[in-house]
């Protein structure tokens, strides 16, 4: 007859008091236990960090690399910027914002694709997905918003300035050194749900002015906007916040219905 207590003792015979347990050095067991716990904690930390980075990149902030000279002197090729994905969304776009947007169609034709580094694709792709590596130029561009939906944007006045809703704007605050507001004349009214964008380095920027024959007629659909660039984070000697030059457009009235 086997009592419950006897069964309990049999099941727990490897409790550290039996012959087999006495033959194993206690230090070895403890070391294995500590190593396993350390590996487990490391994996949990890494997975949590990757998930958090993916969430931040998907919903809040995403890094991008500047591929060309079209936004000089505000941004130069090779700069890394952080883009807030809360605008448009919880926050509204404003004239003067620097936005990253997906190519509406054909804007990047003939432009060589840039790479943020020489990292192999098998490694760069997952790092980009989780937000640990800046997005290559790829299908994206970065320009400054000059016209919001409903705005009438024209160039140029006798003084060589752009007008927005009939008001001249002085863009010297952000235009590249020696750049003119535009050497191409235009008179456009921005359709609902779209933007009119220009590069700060006007004579070296393939922007809204030169894409009128492409899908969207040179306008950027709001749905294509990834977000607003708010900080330069690399290289270190160019680290700075990017502020909207609100006073440039301060006198511009709302568009006439």
Active site residues: 70, 143
Helices (DSSP H) in the chain: which residue ranges? 4-11, 19-23, 26-59, 121-129
Q: Look-up: residue for tokens 């320009």?
A: 143
Q: What angle do CA 58, 63, 196 make, to 5 degrees?
A: 90
Let me know: does 182 contact 209? Beta carbons within 8 Å: yes
Torsion of CA 41, 42, 43, 44, to 10 degrees: 50
Residue 54 vs residues 33, 57, 58, 191, 203: alpha-carbon distances, Å? 32, 5, 6, 34, 37
Integer Cα distance of 178 and 75 in angstroms: 16
* Entry field: residues in the chain: 257
SS3 of residue 61 by DSSP:
strand
């Amino acid at each position: 007859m086997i009592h419950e207590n006897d069964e309990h003792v049999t099941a727990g015979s490897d409790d550290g008091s039996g012959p087999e347990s006495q033959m194993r050095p206690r230090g070895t067991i403890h070391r294995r236990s500590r190593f396993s716990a350390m590996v487990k904690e490391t994996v949990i930390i890494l997975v949590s960090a990757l998930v958090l980075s993916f969430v931040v990149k998907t919903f809040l902030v995403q890094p991008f690399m500047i591929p060309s000279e079209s936004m000089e002197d505000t941004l130069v090729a090779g700069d890394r910027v952080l883009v807030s994905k809360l605008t448009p969304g919880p926050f509204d776009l404003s004239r003067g914002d620097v936005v990253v947007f997906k190519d509406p169609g054909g804007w990047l034709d003939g432009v060589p694709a840039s790479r943020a580094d020489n990292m192999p694709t098998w490694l760069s792709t997952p790092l980009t997905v989780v937000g640990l590596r800046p997005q290559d130029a790829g299908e994206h561009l970065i320009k400054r918003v000059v016209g919001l939906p409903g705005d009438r944007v024209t160039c140029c006045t006798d003084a060589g300035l752009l007008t927005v809703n009939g008001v001249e704007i002085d863009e010297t605050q952000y235009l590249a050194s020696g750049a003119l507001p535009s050497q191409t004349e235009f008179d456009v009214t921005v359709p609902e749900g779209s933007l009119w964008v220009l590069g700060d380095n006007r004579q070296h920027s393939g922007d809204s002015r030169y894409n009128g024959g492409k899908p969207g007629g040179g306008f950027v659909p709001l749905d294509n906007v990834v977000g607003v660039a708010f900080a330069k984070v690399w290289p270190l000697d160019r680290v700075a916040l990017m502020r909207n030059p609100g006073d440039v457009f301060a006198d511009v009235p709302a568009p006439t219905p």
